Structure 1
Amino acid sequence: MSYAHLNAYSRLLRGAHEAAGTGRALPELPRRLITASWERSLQAGIDPESTSAPLVYDRPRIKDARQAHPLRPLLPMIAETLTGLADEVLIVTDGDGRVLWRDGSHSIMSRADRIGLADGHQWTEDSVGTNGIGTALAAGRPVHVYSEEHIMRVLHIWSCSAAPITDPDSGMVIGCVDVSGTARSLHPATVALVAATAKLAETQLALRMHERDERLRRRYESLRGRPGVLLSSTGRVLLGDPAGDLGERLRLTGRQVMFGDGSVGLLEPFSEGYLLRPAPSDTPPALALTFLGERPPSATFGELDRPLSLRHAEILALLALHPHGLTAEQLSFHLYGDDGNPVTIRAEIHRLRTQLGEAIAAKPYRLTCPLEADFLEVRRHLSVNDTRALACTYTGPLLLRSESPEIRRERDELEAQVRACLLRHGSPDELWAYAQTSNGHDDYEVLERLASLPHTDPRSAAARSRLCV
């Protein structure tokens, strides 16, 4: 695009910004991608006068997030592919638009710091409005966002090209690669290079997935007897289903899988995946965990409801989050950090097994019974954006009194995802349900959305009352 065309397009965008700010009809619309993004951004309540993306990860949390992220081994390849863009900043985020890594010259990164284009800041559309990262994640494809196409005025000196990265193993978007620079220095063709980089990353992820699959298959084929159906850790069917009755992938929501004929199969951790076997007639009763909200944590095992101490609830939550099992040392670290003592954990597990019997196996410690948990159910609803079920299930933070580092991370991440999903897709009824939770009760953005309902709606009056406190 020539400078003359850029200047003309900038004038069009400035007029559109002025119209949007006063509520008038747009005299001439930007391109369709940007118009749709503006609509989402304004519905999310983005303030055009905001000056920075929000910081959502402190230093310890971003260190853990980087270490666990599947894109970490691919960073050298991504950086090498995009070398030569000396005047731009390279950004790699997770699937929720949180910046995990960045690179660039000192001068460009210093300018990026001022707008929160830095480690730990979130760049989804519902955080900062139209931008390369957030719009690529929302649209599910590579995008170039030029200068005044951003909603926030502070971003009008920036342009960015970004592309989402999908994990072929899980089928989920796990990240975004972005190149950002000043409006006149970043050519729109940069988006093609960024898209190619994202595709290259997906190819590398697929190669690594196939290597894991092959290792699993070799171990599976060494088993004797009836080994069952071999699944990847994400539920992809690898071996043992020659007729294809199970399809390509099973949704793993617990230890139990219901087949189409009504029969039940049980998942058993196996190497880096699972074995799915028919449930024996003496299958242990299901364990149901209720750990969300302000009520004391409780478990239902078989027909009996059991109140749980906070420590026992934390142990069960960690075992539910790590279906392959944890050693006493790992449990101790997740619960207490470096000050933990595995001896204490073994004693707590012994007390817990007096209540739950053989539902907890050892070496490593793991749950062996069918499992249902409210926080895992919330995860499942989030994966398909089922806001109605999400609003019914999410009654508040996970184990609110827990100080376990691992549970705190899970609690904060779950809260952030629920809030973002409901703000983006939720109806007034669903936002009102979230406003009844401990964190949602005084959430300014949620209350503002509810306050905009007709004044005859009692939820509007309640929201305005809370905003005035």
Structure 2
Amino acid sequence: MQNTSIDMAGLAAMDGAEAARLLKGVREAALSGRASQIEPRADIGESWQRLLRGGLDPDRDRRAGILPLAEIERRRRDSPLREVLPVLREGLVASAEAAQHIMVVADADGRLLWREGSAAVLRKGDAHGFVLGADWKEDLVGTNGVGTPLVARRPVQVHSAEHFVSTHHNWTCAGAPITDPRDGRLIGVVDVSGPVSTMHPSTLSLVTAVTRLAEAELRNRHFAALEQLRSVAAPLLSRLGGRALAVDANGWPAAVIGMPPPGRLQLPRSLAGGGRLWLPALGMCGIEPLPGGWLVRVDERDAAEPAARRAVLDLSRPRRARVTLSGAAGSWAQELSPRHAELLYVLALHRDGRTAAQLAQDVFGDPTRTVTVRAEMSRLRRKLAGVLAHRPYRFADDVEVELLGPHLPADLLPHSTAPAVLRARARGAGAGEVGARAPRDG
């Protein structure tokens, strides 16, 4: 008989006790390795497998130390989530209170920074360890609506015995990650939780919609800040010769002179007051501070400076892919989005290159998705000027490539469902597969 999985609407249609028994049976089968006609939902099953590999005890409630109040306040001040709290409150708190839920906002480390909603449920949350400053990372407390969306990078609903740890089975939760559109960083997760009897299949859709509104608010603030920087920089640029541009702290251009507008510049996290800096998209540049950003002037004397001669693709840290380029002009490092990490991983394995159709098959399992691949590769090539070639897509022939993988094969881009990555995990491609790869013979 073909295995099936049950969706949230199906669970909601059941009697609560019946749904709990069903999910406990599915969980027990998965934990014991027994075959079951009903499988966990995909996000839940993937989470359980991660936790089984990590050795988390499914019957023991683990908790880390609560952050001190001063550290909670510091994280609140520094978090971009603070800017969108009004949007989150307006969209979720009233609905949460009416449904006997609470809204929880956590940072990218899984630490709870804000929580609001039903007073009765807040008290239940206290007993549950769902308190300010608590650590709700998946690898510590198991499958849950805070930690699991941070790993999966997508909205996840977790109900009753879908929680990996049995002490959480009287709880239901739905969480969605928030990404800062200004720099692409995952900045946290918004979760709506409550007693198991309060589950509703539409909760996840509501949480997801409100997080999209929050991201839109950050985007609008970004556009306003760029416009303000443009008003300051435009008169200055008009008096300069050569190629120059004004960018905000995240590298987004506000005004340009002497060249076509580039995409976002990948700036180091700290420029320490400016100076001379090598940027992959432009070469050697002079950097000077501006109110709200930086003045970038391309050094024409070094315009012919060769591109980076070495690229290190570091996938050793789960969910923190990074590429480091180095050459005669210096070095530069940047964290990668999940999609760009997948593409560079495939290209690092295939030094002879891949066509758009081949990359579409490698990443999406669908060779017809070439438009998406070409758009992503165009963005990558702008970021890594001179490092990536095309027709076919590949690392440039004179670039030495080193690929650093994780110790455990299962930790290779754990968010990824790309066929190329799944094949690598299945064959045990971890630290043993990777190493330095010399420049390709031209």
Per the alignment, residue 335 of structure 1 pairs with: none
Per the alignment, residue 292 of structure 2 pairs with: 272
Per the alignment, residue 267 of structure 2 pairs with: 252
Letter aligned with residue 177 of structure 1: V
Cα separation, 1, equivalents of 2:266 and 2:164: 38
Q: Deviations over 1:350-403 (max 9, x none)?
A: xxxxxxxxxxxxxxxxxxxx997xxx96x84899889xxxxxxxxxxxxxxxxx
Question: Structure 1 length normalisation: TM-score?
Answer: 0.58
Cα separation, 1, equivalents of 2:63 and 2:264: 37
Cα separation, 2, equivalents of 1:382 and 1:108: 36
Letter aligned with residue 95 of structure 2: G
Q: Deviations over 1:238-295 (max 9, x none)?
A: 321675474x22222366233467x41133222221221124879xxxxxxxxxxxxx
Cα separation, 2, equivalents of 1:242 and 1:29: 59
Cα separation, 1, equivalents of 2:286 and 2:20: 59
Q: Deviations over 1:26-82 (max 9, x none)?
A: 553111121112112222332212325423632211111101111213223311222
- In structure 2, relative to structure 1, the CA distance for the partners of 1:180 and 1:430 (3 Å cut) is closer
Match of 1:101 among 82, 92, 114: 114
Per the alignment, residue 234 of structure 1 pairs with: 250
Match of 2:233 among 194, 210, 220: 220
Shift of residue 194, structure 1, vs aligned partner: 1.0
Per the alignment, residue 78 of structure 2 pairs with: 68
Cα separation, 2, equivalents of 1:40 and 1:53: 18
Q: Deviations over 1:132-183 (max 9, x none)?
A: 1222222222221111111011110000111111111111221211110011
- In structure 2, relative to structure 1, the CA distance for the partners of 1:245 and 1:210 (3 Å cut) is closer
Match of 1:164 among 177, 199, 215: 177
Cα separation, 1, equivalents of 2:105 and 2:47: 21
Structure 2 residues not aligned, in runs of 5+: 1-8, 303-328, 343-404, 412-427, 429-442
Per the alignment, residue 191 of structure 2 pairs with: 178
Per the alignment, residue 95 of structure 2 pairs with: 84
- In structure 2, relative to structure 1, the CA distance for the partners of 1:55 and 1:279 (3 Å cut) is farther
Cα separation, 1, equivalents of 2:258 and 2:128: 54
Per the alignment, residue 139 of structure 2 pairs with: 126
- In structure 2, relative to structure 1, the CA distance for the partners of 1:80 and 1:382 (3 Å cut) is closer
Per the alignment, residue 38 of structure 2 pairs with: 28
Match of 1:140 among 141, 149, 153: 153
- In structure 2, relative to structure 1, the CA distance for the partners of 1:121 and 1:426 (3 Å cut) is farther
Shift of residue 237, structure 1, vs aligned partner: 2.7
Question: Structure 2 length normalisation: TM-score?
Answer: 0.61
Contact 2:16 2:197 in 1 (8 A): no
Per the alignment, residue 196 of structure 1 pairs with: 209
- RMSD of aligned alpha carbons: 3.5
Alignment of 1:291-310 (within 5 A): none
- In structure 2, relative to structure 1, the CA distance for the partners of 1:429 and 1:25 (3 Å cut) is closer
Alignment of 1:232-381 (within 5 A): 232-240=248-256, 244=260, 246=262, 248-253=263-268, 256-259=277-280, 263-279=283-299, 380=335
Per the alignment, residue 320 of structure 2 pairs with: none
SS at match of 1:61: helix
- In structure 2, relative to structure 1, the CA distance for the partners of 1:259 and 1:33 (3 Å cut) is closer
Per the alignment, residue 356 of structure 1 pairs with: none
Cα separation, 2, equivalents of 1:278 and 1:78: 42
Letter aligned with residue 45 of structure 1: G
Contact 1:95 1:173 in 2 (8 A): yes
Identical pairs, percent: 35
Contact 1:54 1:116 in 2 (8 A): no
Instruction: Flag the structure with higher helix content.
Output: 1
- In structure 2, relative to structure 1, the CA distance for the partners of 1:141 and 1:51 (3 Å cut) is same
Instruction: Flag the structure with higher strand content.
Output: 2
Per the alignment, residue 426 of structure 1 pairs with: 406
SS at match of 1:85: helix
Letter aligned with residue 211 of structure 2: A
- In structure 2, relative to structure 1, the CA distance for the partners of 1:28 and 1:430 (3 Å cut) is closer
Contact 1:257 1:267 in 2 (8 A): no
Cα separation, 2, equivalents of 1:426 and 1:259: 26
Per the alignment, residue 457 of structure 1 pairs with: none
